[in-house]
Structure 1
Amino acid sequence: MSIGAVARRVRAYGGQFLLLAALAAVTLALIAGVPRLVNGRTEAGLQSFLRSQPATVRDVTYATDTIFNAGNGTSLMEAFAADLPRLQDEMPPPVRALVDQRWFTAETDPGRLTGPDLAARNLLVDLGLRSMPGVAEAGRLTGGRWPDPTATAEDPVEIALAAEVAGKLNLRVGSKLTLAGPQSATPEGAPDPVRALVVGVFEPRDRAGGFWDGLPQALRVIEPIGDAQPFVALGVVDPATLDRLSADGWGLRFAWRYRMGASGIHAVDADRLIGDVDRMGRQAQGRAFTQGLDIPLRQFQDQVASVRTVLAVSATGALGALAGLVILAAGLTVRRRRTEFTLLRARGGAALVGARRSLSESLLVLLPAAGAGFALGNLAPGPAAESASAAAVAATLLIVLALPLATLALPTGVAQRRDLVTMRPSARRITMEAGLVLLAVIGVLLLRRRGLVPGVVDPLLVSVPVLLAVAAAVLTIRLYPWPLRLLGRLAARTRGSVAFLGSARGARAVVTTPLVVVVLAVASAAFCGVVAAGVEASRDRVAARQVPADGLIRGERLAPDTGAELARLPGVRRASPFLQEAGQRLATDEDGTDLRVGEVSVLLVNGPELDALVRDADVPVGVPDALLGSGDAGPLPAVVSPAVAADLAAAGRDGSAFVGVQGQRYEFRVAARADSFPLLRGETTRFVVLPWQQLPRRTTDVTPTGFLVAGDRLDVSELRRVGNEGQRRFARGGTIVGREQPLDVEVTTWTQARRQVGEGGVNAVLGFGFTAGAVVGTALGLLAVAFVVLAGARARGQALSQLRTLGLSRGQSRGLLLVELGPLVGVAVVTGAVVGALLPLLLNPVLGLSAFTGGAPVEVAFEPRLVVGVVVLGAVALGFAIVVEALNNRRTRLGEALRLGEES
C-alpha cells in the first residue's frame, strides 16, 4: 500500500482526520504538560512553605556532652573544630550538597557570676562562656574590643557581651567580675573561680542571620523561672581562653551546626531527603543529633499526597472524556466511509483490509500529531513526571488503534432506517448495563469501607467516579425517552407539527456514547467546582475561628477604656473585649480546693456584644445561646469542651465548679458543649468559655487581654498604636508597675488570617487543579455536545430536506432542531452536574481535604452557584449545538441530502 494512496485518502477525508489529529495532539499535550505544570507549582509551593517556616527548622546539629581535657597537652578546640568539614563530608551526598552555611561553637556550663555592678542591683546571674569563630564578622562593637587571643593565664578572662545582655545585667566595658567554676560532675569537684573582665559590648550585624541561632542564644538573657532563681546568659570568649580553662579542669561542650539552603530542596527528592536525615541520626556515633527538617517536609508530603488524590480523580474524568471523544471521532470517520469499506468486502477483500487501510492512515496522521502534542506539552514549565513517557506511549498506541478497531466493529450490511423505529436494546445489552450500575454501587461501598492509602493513585478511587458517571449516563439513556414519548402524545393533539416531530425524533434518538462523554466531562467539571467551593468555605470557617471579626488585637493586659479608643478610629464600627488565660485549674469551692483534673484555658467574652459584632462583620461564626443571657443569680452558664464536660460529670461537679480568672475564682455550670470555640487554637481540647456580662461584681474587675473590632478598611498600624497605648496605660495605672515595657500587641485582620490559611504549601497546586479541571471539563463537554449533534446530523438533514419540500419554514426548522436537541443536551448537562455534585459527598471521607484547611474538616454541601452554572452551561451547550448543526447543514447543503441519502 503506497504512501501516496494513503495520503490521497487522508486528503479526501481531511476534516475527519483533522479532528482526530487535533484530539490526539490535545490528549498528548495534556499528558505531558499538565504534570509539568503541577510539578512546577508543587516545587514553588515547597519553596514558599520552607521560607515561611523558621530558618532553624533547616538546621542539622551535632553536639557532645561535657568533655574534660585528658591533660596530655592536646588542644580540644583545634581537635573538635577540625570535625566541622569532616562531618559534612560524611553526610549522604544529597544532604551534603544542600549545606548552605555551617558553624562550630564550644562553650562551658554556666557558673555563678559575681561583681560590684551585679551587686548594685542585687542580681543573681549564671554565666556561660562560648567561643564562636567568626563572631567579629557577624557582630559590630558598640564599645571596647574583642577578647585578645594572646592573653595569658595570669590575665583575667576577657569577655564580650551582647548589648542587650550587658544592659539587662548592669554591665559595661571594664566591669570586673568573678566567675565560679560550673558544678560539673568530676572526681576533682568544681574548678577554682577565675577573674573575668568585660572588654567589649557588641550588637549583631544581622540578627536574623543563622550565626546567632544557636541555643541558648548569646544575644539575650534567659529570665528566671521562679523566685530566688538566677538570670542565665552567655559571654563570648576567644578559643585560646577555653583551651586554658579546659586545662584547668573546666568541662567543654561542642556543637556543629549545618543549615540547609531552602532553594536546593526539591519536592521530588523530599522522601529521599527524609530518609537520609533519619539515617544520619542513627549514625551519629555517640553525638547528640538534632534536626527539624523532616517535620515540614513530612507535612508538605501529606499535602502533596492529598492533592495528588484529588487531581487523580479530576484527571481521570478528563482523560475518560477525551478517550470517549476519540472513540466518537473514530466512529464518525468510519461511518462516513461505510460505503467504501462495504465495497471492499463486496469485491472479495478480507475482513482486515479496511482495518489495514485505517491503520496506515492513523500512522500517517495520528502518530505525528501525537508526537507534536507531546513535544508541545513538554514546553510547559516544570519538571517532567516520571511516568509521563510511559503514559504518552500507551495513549498514542490506543489513539492510533482507535480508527482500525472502529473499522473492524463497523457493520458492512445494508443500513436500516434507525430513525423510523424505536430501537429496543437486546437482553445482552440490558444485562451489561445493569452490571455496570451494580459495579458502580459496589465500588462506592468498597471505597468508603476500605478507605484510602494517602499519596497512592488508587485504581479503585480513580475508577469509581468514571463508573458512576457512566452508570448515570446509562440510566439517563434508558429513562429520558419516556417523558419525551408522553410529550409527543400530547403534542400530537395540537395543531402545530414542530413539537410533535421534535419530541418524536428526540425519543427515538440513539446517542449512547456521546451522551456518556457529555455526562463524564460535565461531572468532572462539577466535581472540581463543588470541591473547590467546599474547601473555600472551610477555609473561611478556619479564618473566622482565628479572627471572628474584621480585626483582632491581642496583648497582655489592656486598659478597659481601650475599647472606646478603638471605636473612635476611622472605619471601626464596633469593639468588644475578651480575656483569655491558659493553664488554669478547676476547683470545687471558692477557696481553691483542686478538683484534680487537667488544666483548662479560660475565655471570657461579652455574649451579646460578640453576637452583634460577628453579625456586623459577616463572619461565619455563631455565638451559643448560653452566652447571650443578661445574668441570673447562681453559677455562670459556661460553654465547655467535651473533655472538660466529661471530667466535671465524672466528679459530679457539672452543676457547680470554680475556675480562676486573673487571681479571682468564679463559679460556673455546664450550660453547653462545643468541640471548638473562636479565638482558641484548633488544638485546644480543654476550655471553659464564660459570659463576661454576667460576671458578679468584685472589688477588682477583670482586665481584657484583647479586643475584637468590626469595620471597613481597617488601619492595622492605628489598631496597633491604640492597643499598645492601652497596654501602657494599664501597666502605669496598676498597683504593681511592670519593670519592663510590655511587648507590642498582635494585630490580625480576618483578611490576613484567610490569606494565611489559603496560601503556601500545595494550595496553589490545588487551585490550579480545580481551575484546570473545571475549564477542561467544560470544554470537553461542549465538544461532546458537538458530537451528539454530528452523530445524528445525516438523518436530521434528510428529514429536514423532506419537511422543507413539504412547506416547513426556516423558523420552524430551527424550532424543530431546538425541540429535538434541547431535552438531550439538557438531560446530559444536568446528569453530569448531579453526578459531579454527588461525587464529593461520596468521596469526601477518603479525599483527605483537611490537609488544605489547617486540619479542619471540609464540609462539602450543596452549592447554590452550581445551579446557576448548570443553567448557563446548558444554555451555552444548546446554543453551541444549534450553531454546529447550522454549520453542518450549510456544509452538506440540505437540498442535496435527498439525492445523497442511501434510503431516499
Structure 2
Amino acid sequence: MSVFGAVRRVRAYGGHFLLLAVLTLVTALLITAVPRVADRLTGQGLREYVAAQPVARRDLTYATQPEVVPPLAQRLAATRALELATLERRMPTAVQQVIGERWYAAQTYPARLTGPRLAADKGLIDLGLRSMTGMPEAATLVAGRWPEQGVTEQGAIEVALADSVAGPLGVTAGDRFRLAILDQNKKPITVREMELVGVFTPRDRRAGIWDSLPGMLGLTPPEGDGDPFVAVGYTAEDGFDAAATAGFPVSFSWRYRIAPAEIAAGQLSDLIGGLAALDRARPAGLTLTQGVDIPLRRFAESLAAARTLLAVIAAGLLATLAGLTLLAARLAARRRATEYALIRARGGSTVTVLRRGLTESVLVLPLAAGAGWLLGGRLPGAGTGLRWVLLAGLLATLVPPLAALTAGRGTGGRTDLVGARATALRRTVEVTVLVIAALGAFLLRRRGLTLDGTVDPLLVSVPVLLAVAAALLALRAYPWPLRLLSRAAARARGSVAFLGTARAGRAATTGPLVVVVLAIATAAFCGVVAAGIETGRDRAAARAVPGDVLVVGERFAPDTTEGLAGLPGVRAVTPLLTVPGERPYADRAGRFGGVGETRVLLVDGARFADVARRAGVAVPVPDLLRTPGDGTGGTPLPALVSPALAAEFTAAGLADRDGRRPAWLDVQGNRLPVRTAAVVAGFPLVDQGVDRFLVLPWPALPADAPNPLAPTGFVLAGDRVDPAAVARVVEEGQRRYQRAGTVNGGDRPRQPTVLTRSAVRAELGGSGVNGLLVFGFTIGAVGGGLLGLLALAFAVLAGARARGQVLSRLRTMGLSRGQWRGLLLVELTPLVLVSVLTGAVVGALLPVLLTPVLGLPAFTGGVAVPVRFEPGLVAGVLGLALLALGFAVAVEALNNRRLRLGEVLRLGEES
C-alpha cells in the first residue's frame, strides 16, 4: 500500500491512467474555457452591437424648452454649464461608468438673418447662436479669430461660422449682419447687430460634437415651401448672454454619449435598470431623450437565449465526458479483475480495494484536472470556474476506486446466450430514467424558461435525460428484429450472416452505446438548431424585403416605376402603397366604425408574386390579391386581415365575408369598401410587431378619379442592382410628385429609404451574440462527433475479448480472413447504425421539445425558427455513420492484432 507501489502500478497500467487523465483534463478545460470564451465573445459582441447603433440612439440628452430670460440675467451660459457635471453625478452608477464623451450647449432659437453681403439667391436665412464646450479643440480656424470676447466694442455679437456655411452664404470674416425676431406679420420686434469674426473647419466631421440638431456644418434645407434655410453659428458665453438678455428665446442641452468600450456584459442588467431610472429621476423642467435602452434590451434577450443554448450544449458534452470517464474506469477495472480478486482471496476488504484505487487515482487525476484548469485560465475572458473544476476533479478521482469494487462481479456464467435476461435492478434503473425524463420534459414545457441570469438545472438536465431514455429504449428494441433475422439466416447457407446477427442481437454493450447516443444527440441538436436559425433569418429577411431591393418613402410620381424598371440589372418592379395608421369607417360618409388605427397595405398581387419569384423568395400570394377590384364602391375589395383586426371587425359588425356591410377606408382621398376575405397571422412587408393590419389588392380606379393612387414604395428583383442608382431615381420621383402640384406648402418629404435583402440578412447574421452562437454550435457539433467516436471505441473494446475468443475458435475451424472481416462487419453495423441514428433522431427532436422555452426567435428578428432535418444534415448523419462504422472496424482490427488471437484461448488468459 506504499506510494512507491502505487507509482509502479500506475506505470504498469499507464495506458488506462493516461486515458483517464486526458478525459479529466478535457473536462476541466471545458469547464474553465467555455465561460471565459463566452464572456469574451459576449463582451466583444456587445461592444460591436452598441457601436453599430446610430449615434443619436447612444446619446442621453437633457434639454430645456425655449424660454425668454430676464434682461438682467448674468453669466447665464457659464452657470448652466456647471450642470454638465451635476447631472452626471445624479445618474445611477451603472450609467456613469459607461459615459464617454459629454457636451454642453446653450443656443438661441433661430431668428431671421439679414445683411448686405448675404448671397441673394439663397432666399430666407435663419440663424441660431450656440455656445458650447470643446469647440476650439474640435475645429481649426481658416480665417479670422474665435469669438473670445463675445461682444465687440461697438456692441455687435461675435459669431463664427463653418466654412461649409460661410461659403454658400457668400460671407467672409469681418462682415456684419442683423439678427431679428419676427412677429406673425414678418415684422422685426427684436433686433441685434452681429459680426462674423471667424470661419472654421472641423478637424473630424464624424466627431460627436457636431451631432446636435440643427447642425453647424451645413445649411439645413427648408421643411416646406416658403420656409427659410437654417444655419447655426458659434459664439462665446458673453455673446450668448447678450442675445439672451436682448429677448431671444434660448434653450440649454446637456448631452452624454454611451461609450461602447466601457460596456461590460456583466453590468448589462444594471445598465438597463439605470437607464429606466433616469427618466423617473430627471430634474424638474428638463426633458430626457434617450434610445439606447431599446437595443440593450434586445441584446439582453438574445444573450439570455444564447446562454441557454450554450448551457444545453455544455451539459450534453459534460455528460458525455462523465460517461466516457466511467467507461474508461470500468474498462481499466475489468482488465485488473484478477488482481482485485486475488486481493480479496488473501483477506483484503472492500476498504483495502478502495484505498488501493484511491491512492493510484490521487497520483494522476487531480494533476490532470489542475492542468486543464491552468490551460483554460490562459484564455482571455472572465470566469475561472475553479469550484466546478475541483468538483469534477474530485468525482473523477473517486470513479476508478468505485469501479474497482464491481470489477469481478457478474462475470460468472454464460454471456453468449441469446435469451439472456436483464436483472431486476437494471430494469428498475431504466424505468426510473424513463419516468424522470418524461416528467422533466412535461414540467419544462409547463413552466417555461427562467431568465434570471443563472443556469436552469431543469433545462440542462432534461435533454441529457431524454437522450439517455431514448438510448435505453432503442437498445432494448433493436435486438428483436436482429434475432428474427438471425433465425432466418440460420436456415440459409453460410455462417457469417447467422453468427454476425446472432451476436449483434445480444446488446451486451448498453453503457457505451448510451454514451454514443448522448454524444451524437448533442452534435445533431447543434446542427438542427443552427440550420433552423439560418432558415429563420432567411425568412425574416424575406419578410422585410420580399425581393432584392425595397424602397420605402412618401408619395412617388407614377412614372417612377418605369424609371426603376429601366435601371441596369432590374428584372421586375412592383409598386406598394402603405398607410401606417388608418381608421376604418362604418360607411362611405365616414362614420366612425369602432375600429382602431390599422396599417393598410395595397399591393398588385400578380406583379408582387412575379417580383418575389424572380428574386427567389418564397412568398405566398393568395389569388384574391391577384385580381384588382373596380375601386368604385360597387364591389368591396377582398382583404387579408390580421386576427386582432378581424376580431374588432366582428365586434363592430363589419366582418361580413359577402360584403353586404363592408368597412370603408380613406386611401389618399379615395373611399374604398373592403370585406374580410381571409384571416392571416402575417404578411411580408408588415413588421413582426404589428398585430393590426389589412392587405388589399391594388384597386383599378377609373381614369377620371379625382385622386389617383401614388405609390409609397417599391419592391425590385434583379441581379447586382446598384442601391445608389435606385436612390437617385426614387428621390427624383418623389420630387416630381411634389412639383406636380398635388401637395403644396406641406412639410418637406422624408428621404426615401433603400434596403437590400442581403443587407437585412447580413444584419441579422451579424447580431451581437452571433459569435457566441457560432462558438457554441462549433464545440457542440465537433465535440459531440469526436466524443461519439471515442464512445464507440469503448463500445467495441467492451466486447473485444468475447469477439476475440469466438474469432479464434472460428479461425481454427477454417474461417477465412475475408469471412472474418464480413463477420466483424455484420456484427458491428447494427451497433453503429442504431447508436448514430438514435442520437441523430434524438438531436432532431430535442429542438421540437425545447423551442418554446429556448427563446430562439431572439436570433431571427422575432420570426419563428423552423426545426427540421435539412438534406445537408441527413447527409452529414449518414456520413458520420459510415465514418463511425469504419472507425469501429479499425479499432476492432487493431485490438485483435494487439491481443494475438491465438493466445486468447489459453485457459485463464485475461486479455
Normalising by structure 2, we get a TM-score of 0.89
The corresponding residue for 1:314 is 313
Contact kept? 1:341, 1:412, Cα under 8 Å: no
Instruction: Provide the C-alpha distance between the structure 2 equivalents of 1:611 and 1:156, rounded to a whole number of angstroms.
Output: 66
Instruction: Provide the C-alpha distance between the structure 1 equivalents of 2:74 and 2:743, rounded to a whole number of angstroms.
Output: 55
Tell me the SS of whatever aligns to 2:340.
helix
Tell me the SS of whatever aligns to 1:536.
helix
Instruction: Provide the C-alpha distance between the structure 2 equivalents of 1:880 and 1:840, rounded to a whole number of angstroms.
Output: 29
User: C-alpha deviations, 1:101-154, integer Å up to 9, x for none?
Assistant: 22122235x386586899999999987543213334445678886546252697
* Structure 1 position 675, deviation (Å): 2.7
Q: Which runs of structure 2 are paired with 1:571-650 in the superposition (5 Å)?
A: 571-590=569-588, 592-595=590-593, 597-629=595-627, 631=629, 634-650=635-651
One-letter code aligned to 1:395: A
Q: Which runs of structure 2 are paired with 1:188-227 in the superposition (5 Å)?
A: 193-197=190-194, 199=196, 206-214=204-212
Instruction: Provide the C-alpha distance between the structure 2 equivalents of 1:615 and 1:797, rounded to a whole number of angstroms.
Output: 62
User: C-alpha deviations, 1:384-426, integer Å up to 9, x for none?
Assistant: 325x111111111111111111112323586333224633122
* Structure 1 position 728, deviation (Å): 5.1
Instruction: Provide the C-alpha distance between the structure 1 equivalents of 2:721 and 2:110, rounded to a whole number of angstroms.
Output: 51
Tell me the SS of whatever aligns to 1:668.
strand
One-letter code aligned to 1:177: L
User: C-alpha deviations, 1:525-583, integer Å up to 9, x for none?
Assistant: 11111111211111111100111012223444444444444444443332222222333
Contact kept? 1:577, 1:704, Cα under 8 Å: yes
The corresponding residue for 2:178 is 176
The corresponding residue for 1:38 is 38
Contact kept? 1:130, 1:234, Cα under 8 Å: yes
Tell me the SS of whatever aligns to 1:384.
coil
One-letter code aligned to 1:544: A
User: C-alpha deviations, 1:743-787, integer Å up to 9, x for none?
Assistant: 664332221111111112102211221122111111111111111
The corresponding residue for 1:443 is 440
The corresponding residue for 1:188 is none
One-letter code aligned to 1:635: P
Q: Which runs of structure 2 are paired with 1:13-52 in the superposition (5 Å)?
A: 13-52=13-52
User: C-alpha deviations, 1:846-904, integer Å up to 9, x for none?
Assistant: 11111111122223245444432332222111111101101111111111111265599
User: C-alpha deviations, 1:159-204, integer Å up to 9, x for none?
Assistant: 556688889999995442323799xxxxxxxx98342436367665
Instruction: Provide the C-alpha distance between the structure 2 equivalents of 1:559 and 1:249, rounded to a whole number of angstroms.
Output: 45
One-letter code aligned to 1:677: F
Instruction: Provide the C-alpha distance between the structure 1 equivalents of 2:606 and 2:204, rounded to a whole number of angstroms.
Output: 48
Contact kept? 1:142, 1:201, Cα under 8 Å: yes
Instruction: Provide the C-alpha distance between the structure 2 equivalents of 1:562 and 1:228, rounded to a whole number of angstroms.
Output: 26
Instruction: Provide the C-alpha distance between the structure 2 equivalents of 1:156 and 1:417, rounded to a whole number of angstroms.
Output: 112
Superposition RMSD in Å: 3.7
The corresponding residue for 1:547 is 545
* Structure 1 position 279, deviation (Å): 6.1
In structure 1, stretches of 5+ residues that fail to align are 183-190
Tell me the SS of whatever aligns to 2:832.
helix
Tell me the SS of whatever aligns to 1:151.
coil
Instruction: Provide the C-alpha distance between the structure 2 equivalents of 1:73 and 1:567, rounded to a whole number of angstroms.
Output: 62
Contact kept? 1:342, 1:413, Cα under 8 Å: no
Instruction: Provide the C-alpha distance between the structure 1 equivalents of 2:749 and 2:164, rounded to a whole number of angstroms.
Output: 16
The yes-or-no answer on 1:764 pairing with 2:771 is yes
* Structure 1 position 679, deviation (Å): 2.0
User: C-alpha deviations, 1:207-237, integer Å up to 9, x for none?
Assistant: 4321133456556788898999998875543
* Structure 1 position 649, deviation (Å): 3.2
The corresponding residue for 1:187 is none
Instruction: Provide the C-alpha distance between the structure 1 equivalents of 2:215 and 2:265, rounded to a whole number of angstroms.
Output: 32
Tell me the SS of whatever aligns to 2:815.
coil
Q: Which runs of structure 2 are paired with 1:187-586 in the superposition (5 Å)?
A: 193-197=190-194, 199=196, 206-214=204-212, 236-244=234-242, 253-276=251-274, 286=284, 288=286, 291-380=290-379, 382-385=380-383, 388-411=385-408, 415-420=412-417, 422-454=419-451, 455-586=453-584
More off after superposition, 89-98 vs 794-803: 89-98
Instruction: Provide the C-alpha distance between the structure 2 equivalents of 1:228 and 1:737, rounded to a whole number of angstroms.
Output: 10
Q: Quick one: structure 1 residues 684 and 142, their matched pair in 2 at CA, closer, same or farther if it must change by over 3 Å?
A: farther
Q: Quick one: structure 1 residues 156 and 857, their matched pair in 2 at CA, closer, same or farther if it must change by over 3 Å?
A: same
The corresponding residue for 1:77 is 77
Q: Which runs of structure 2 are paired with 1:95-244 in the superposition (5 Å)?
A: 95-96=95-96, 98-108=98-108, 110=109, 113=112, 129-139=129-139, 147=147, 149=149, 151=151, 155-159=155-159, 174-179=176-181, 193-197=190-194, 199=196, 206-214=204-212, 236-244=234-242
Instruction: Provide the C-alpha distance between the structure 2 equivalents of 1:738 and 1:164, rounded to a whole number of angstroms.
Output: 28
One-letter code aligned to 2:346: R
In structure 2, stretches of 5+ residues that fail to align are none
Contact kept? 2:127, 2:179, Cα under 8 Å: no
Instruction: Provide the C-alpha distance between the structure 1 equivalents of 2:554 and 2:144, rounded to a whole number of angstroms.
Output: 37
* Structure 1 position 444, deviation (Å): 1.0
The corresponding residue for 1:186 is none
Identity of aligned residues (%): 53
Instruction: Provide the C-alpha distance between the structure 1 equivalents of 2:866 and 2:721, rounded to a whole number of angstroms.
Output: 31
Instruction: Provide the C-alpha distance between the structure 2 equivalents of 1:116 and 1:665, rounded to a whole number of angstroms.
Output: 51
The yes-or-no answer on 1:682 pairing with 2:688 is yes
Instruction: Provide the C-alpha distance between the structure 2 equivalents of 1:589 and 1:220, rounded to a whole number of angstroms.
Output: 50
Match for residue 797 of structure 2 among 787, 790, 793? 790
* Structure 1 position 333, deviation (Å): 0.3
Match for residue 848 of structure 1 among 843, 855, 860? 855
More off after superposition, 463-472 vs 215-224: 215-224
Contact kept? 2:150, 2:239, Cα under 8 Å: no
Instruction: Provide the C-alpha distance between the structure 2 equivalents of 1:611 and 1:205, rounded to a whole number of angstroms.
Output: 50
The yes-or-no answer on 1:669 pairing with 2:675 is yes
Instruction: Provide the C-alpha distance between the structure 1 equivalents of 2:762 and 2:841, rounded to a whole number of angstroms.
Output: 31
* Structure 1 position 803, deviation (Å): 0.7
More off after superposition, 342-351 vs 693-702: 693-702
Tell me the SS of whatever aligns to 1:352.
helix
More off after superposition, 610-619 vs 538-547: 610-619
Number of aligned pairs?
893
More off after superposition, 532-541 vs 203-212: 203-212
User: C-alpha deviations, 1:826-858, integer Å up to 9, x for none?
Assistant: 111121111111111111111111111112222
One-letter code aligned to 1:639: L
Tell me the SS of whatever aligns to 2:892.
helix
* Structure 1 position 263, deviation (Å): 1.2
Q: Quick one: structure 1 residues 197 and 550, their matched pair in 2 at CA, closer, same or farther if it must change by over 3 Å?
A: same
More off after superposition, 870-879 vs 310-319: 870-879
Instruction: Provide the C-alpha distance between the structure 1 equivalents of 2:442 and 2:191, rounded to a whole number of angstroms.
Output: 77
